[in-house]
């Protein structure tokens, strides 16, 4: 735990009750980070319990519950749940990028055919407005080991701090290019030999689960509100859609892109 997240008894007791709770929030965030990095977490837990002991009663119920739970549970998983329950009792919610993610090597699917497909696939993002959506797409692309992402128009680039929040480090591991016009990106991909597939809710689109894909392949996804522009759509070779059975006719663009990309890479592979 960094020194900035450690308090002496004198320092902690000098804080107002409101600032003491804010200090606990910082300590819990540091603890959660330690858990995600699989670092030593026993000392941070002891320090948090010590700070709670220095608070003047009566304590808010959520702090009493936190103290009691931390004294009982020792496993990283249970401590993580305790922190989540504490925040829930306080009425706090978190966005995806605010949650510490476990670091370290995980399962790798080493299927030669899938890896070959992935290195023959790029994504073209047509004027996506949300840097958070783009960051999520970078994360998907890195997990699949796709070749590149073409960012177009108003789409944020990896220079964006908002993009980095949801990309979680993957923005540095995927090749990307920026184009002022989406049409130029599509024409560039065509010149490189890519087959252009547009993910769009048009009447003549085929289900992503029923198509035999031709590689190399470029998947085009569009603006959150307007979809893929008509001029860009006309340049594409094939139209894809995700079947829906509910009231809403489409998914969030980052979610839709992930489902489609995974189907393209893994959907028609033989079972291992």
Contact 123, 240 (CB under 8 A): no
What are the distances in angstroms from CA 146 to CA 114, 121, 149, 174? 10, 6, 8, 8
What pTM did the predictor assign?
Answer: 0.70
Please tell me what DSSP assigns to residue 59.
Answer: P
pLDDT of residue 106: 57
pLDDT of residue 40: 82
Fold of domain 112-266: Alpha/beta knot (3.40.1280)
pLDDT of residue 68: 94
Q: Buried b / exposed e across 12-28, counting CB within 10 Å, b at 16+? A: beebeeeebeebbeebb
| DSSP conformation letters of 24-48 | HHHHHHHHHHHHHTT---HHHHHHH
Query: Partners of 207 in the beta sheet?
Result: 241
**Could you tell me where in the chain the CATH 3.40.1280.10 domains are found?**
112-266
pLDDT of residue 34: 81
Contact 59, 17 (CB under 8 A): no
Q: What is the CA radius of gyration of the chain?
A: 24
Query: Partners of 151 in the beta sheet?
Result: 125, 178
pLDDT in tens, the chain (272 residues): 444 568 999 999 999 999 999 999 989 988 887 887 778 888 999 999 999 999 999 999 999 999 999 999 888 888 888 988 888 888 765 555 444 444 455 556 668 899 999 999 999 999 999 989 999 999 999 999 999 999 999 999 998 888 888 888 888 899 999 999 999 999 999 999 999 999 998 888 999 999 999 999 999 999 988 899 999 999 999 999 999 888 887 889 999 999 999 999 999 765 54
Q: Is 166 exposed, middle or buried (0-12, 13-18, 19+ CB in 10 A)?
A: buried
pLDDT of residue 103: 47
pLDDT of residue 109: 61
């Amino acid at each position: 735990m960094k020194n900035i997240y450690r308090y002496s008894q004198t320092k902690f007791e000098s804080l107002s009750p409101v600032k003491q709770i804010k200090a606990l929030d910082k300590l819990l965030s540091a603890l959660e980070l330690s858990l995600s990095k699989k670092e030593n977490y026993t000392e941070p837990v002891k320090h948090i319990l010590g700070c709670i002991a220095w608070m003047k009663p009566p304590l808010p119920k959520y702090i009493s519950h936190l103290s009691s739970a931390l004294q009982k549970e020792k496993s990283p998983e249970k401590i993580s749940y305790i922190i989540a329950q504490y925040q829930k009792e306080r009425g706090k919610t978190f966005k995806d990028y605010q949650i510490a993610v476990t670091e370290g090597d995980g399962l790798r699917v080493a299927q030669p055919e899938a890896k070959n497909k992935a290195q023959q696939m790029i994504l073209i993002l047509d004027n996506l407005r949300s840097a958070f959506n783009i960051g999520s797409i970078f994360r998907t692309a890195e997990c699949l080991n796709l070749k590149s992402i073409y960012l177009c128009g108003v789409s944020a680039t990896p220079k964006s701090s908002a993009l980095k929040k949801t990309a979680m480090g993957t923005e540095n591991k995927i090749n990307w290019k920026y184009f002022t016009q989406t049409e130029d990106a599509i024409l560039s991909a065509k010149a490189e030999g890519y087959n252009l597939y547009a993910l769009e809710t048009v009447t003549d689109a085929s289900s992503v689960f029923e198509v035999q894909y031709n590689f190399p392949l470029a998947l085009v996804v569009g603006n959150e509100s307007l979809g893929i522009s008509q001029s860009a759509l006309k340049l594409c070779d094939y139209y894809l859609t995700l079947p829906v059975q509910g009231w809403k006719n489409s998914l969030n663009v980052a979610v839709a892109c992930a489902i489609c990309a995974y189907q393209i890479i893994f959907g028609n592979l033989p079972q291992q």
